[in-house]
Amino acid sequence: MFKWFFKIFNKSSKSFSVEEQDSMKKFLIVGLGNIGEKYKNTRHNIGFKILDHLASKNDLKFETQKLGDLTSFKFKGRTFILLKPSTYMNLSGKSVVYWLTKEKISLENLLVVTDDLNIPFGTLRVKTKGSDGGHNGLKDIQEKLNTTNYNRFRFGISDAFGEGKQVDYVLSDWTDEEEGKLLERLDKSIEIIKSFGTAGIKHTMNDFNGR
């Protein structure tokens, strides 16, 4: 399943075929969330919300395909494929692996957008690797990819919940105060995604982490 990834990683840039060079200009942006109207505005679905916001800004419409809803757009010579897995959060890895393989996208061109309750609300952080942090979606992606070395964009939702209330908290809707601050954070999230594909992961981390 990962022959394409290994083929890309083991070749020098001078030996890339035209097809492989084109594939290096494709990026898979995966927003994590749960399908269904009852989950639409929950904290756990910020990955979906960010991709929906990006799609609306570019007049894009998602189409239901195998294991997810997808759309794509081009920006500065790059192709961004947006994926919202339809497997539910805990099985996100199945959809990620399928579309990486189908589109022949290298692992370094994958960005997973997810909520993170370990950082304050609205804090934006991009990382090249890390643990799942107790996040079931990231845990499944890690298991399916067999590595923790993949890019992730974490959107802070804070940990403002009482003991034993974590599940209720992440699956609850945003407060009115949070809603009032979301739009600016969603716009900044779009900038991060575009920067990832055009400037690269390291520049994106330097330019946006903590902002």
Q: Residues 115, 44: contact at Cβ < 8 Å?
A: yes
Could you say which of 44, 53, 135, 203 is catalytic? 44
Kindly state the DSSP code that residue 174 receives in the 8-state scheme.
Answer: P
Cβ atoms of 170 and 42 closer than 8 Å:
yes
Q: Cα–Cα distance between 98 and 199 in angstroms, integer? A: 26
154: which 2 tokens?
């974490």
Tokens 């749960």 locate to 34
Q: Taking Cα atoms as reference points, which of 26, 28, 30 lies closest to residue 79?
A: 26
Whether 44 is a known active-site residue: answer: yes
**Phi-psi category of 166—alpha, beta or left, where left has phi over 0 and alpha has psi -120 to 50?**
alpha
Positions annotated as catalytic residues are: 44
